[in-house]
Amino acid sequence: MKVERSLFDSANGWRVLPGSDELSQAHLVLHFGAKELLETPHYYDILRNQYPDAQIVGCSTAGEIIDTEVHDNTAVACAVEFASTEVRVGARNMVDVVDSFYAGVELGSELSAPDLRSVLVISDGIQVNGSELVRGLTSAVGKGVPVSGGLAGDADRFSSTLVSCNGPAEAGKIAVVGLYGDRVTVGHGSVGGWDPFGPERTITRSKGNVLYELDGRPALDLYKRYLGDEAANLPGSALLFPLMVRSPDSDEIGLVRTVLGIDEDEQSMTFAGDLPQGFKAQLMRANFERLIDGAGEAARICNARQNESRKLAVLISCVGRKMVLGQRTAEEVQAVASLLGDGVSQLGYYSYGEISPHVRLGSCELHNQTMTVTVLSEGDD
């Protein structure tokens, strides 16, 4: 497996970064960039002209990751040449399907095959219910096939997001990448680092990913009370206080959910994934050191050092973490790099939701406010 890394900025245009491999043919190109760049005429054409035979998939972001650096208002790309791994892609737009679950079923069915080893999904971050999408995908490809990836971003604006799959980026799109064959190895890790605070509450009224009431009171009222003056900056300021939800019948660590939007008239909040009625919910707040340590733990879980061949690590972290960490954001990316070791190229972005197998439960889930790491490699090159 060979990897070529590129960075685009307004001063220098696209440039290949030092230490990249020399490719004879790219099979897969992943690219992540600021929405304004993806909307630029000929942005996609440049990538297609550079890699004429590759499957090209990417999205808009809330920040870009390349190696140990974090950028804003740039674009990053990795072109991958596999020795024997087959790559297939599929895409759907939400205007053409009934809902997020069936979009996942259709895409999973399109990729499903006996030699399917892993699925990478890059989805619109506003128009898609991420947990329903993952549920549909896993129902089609089977529980034995890991699904990872994330939702697109749009800085902290939560206005619209874009996804590209072998064409210019569009809103409402979902793209999936299937990797096939015996030689490809895929490792996954996903860890948060937030601390719970305040009482655990019961979700007394919700529908899908829309939350109306906690303990019989309007959820939006509760958030505004905790946010104080920052309530004027909703929904972005709610990223400082994500919500952890868990089944009332389980003592396992729950899933963290991020706010995507609010409705003042209905006093409701829309999250990136489902909040089932009757589940328990608890507010979370940041712990700087644990956020950074959590990123390193996600890398450790991948067990990437077990294979000494060339590797690509796809890092997808939540925009909420970036807002909290501020100038220390690069530290979580550096923590991942220090644990993955030499010979690993890092590419990624800051998202509105992360997808990865749950560390304890094993099932593939939508996460929020986590750092997720997916490491791709092949056997002996």
Of the candidates 263, 26, 257, the residue with the CA atom closest to the CA atom of residue 151: 257
* Residue-wise pLDDT tens digits, 266-297: 999 998 778 999 999 988 876 656 666 656 66
The whole-number pLDDT of residue 360 equals 56
* Residue-wise pLDDT tens digits, 215-239: 999 999 988 888 888 888 888 777 7
Domain boundaries, the chain: 2-191+289-377, 194-285
Of the candidates 292, 62, 297, the residue with the CA atom closest to the CA atom of residue 190: 297
Phi-psi region of 198 (alpha: psi -120 to 50; beta: other; left: phi over 0): left
* Sign of the dihedral defined by the CA atoms of residues 221, 259, 137, 45, in that order: positive
The token pair at 116 is: 């399917």
Q: What are phi and psi of 300, to 5 degrees?
A: -65, -40
Confidence of residue 300 (pLDDT cuts 50, 70, 90): low
The whole-number pLDDT of residue 361 equals 56
CB 139 within 8 A of CB 198: no
Q: What pTM was computed for the model?
A: 0.83
* Residue-wise pLDDT tens digits, 129-167: 988 999 999 999 998 898 999 999 998 888 899 999 999
Picking from 46-60, 181-195, 296-310, which range would have the lowest pLDDT averaged per residue? 296-310
The whole-number pLDDT of residue 105 equals 96
Mean pLDDT of 185-205: 82
Mean pLDDT of 15-32: 93
The whole-number pLDDT of residue 196 equals 79
The whole-number pLDDT of residue 59 equals 98
The whole-number pLDDT of residue 121 equals 97
* Sign of the dihedral defined by the CA atoms of residues 321, 91, 120, 109, in that order: positive
Mean pLDDT, the chain, rounded, equals 87
The whole-number pLDDT of residue 297 equals 66
* Residue-wise pLDDT tens digits, 331-370: 888 988 887 877 789 999 999 988 887 655 556 777 777 8
Higher pLDDT, 107 or 361: 107
Confidence of residue 298 (pLDDT cuts 50, 70, 90): low
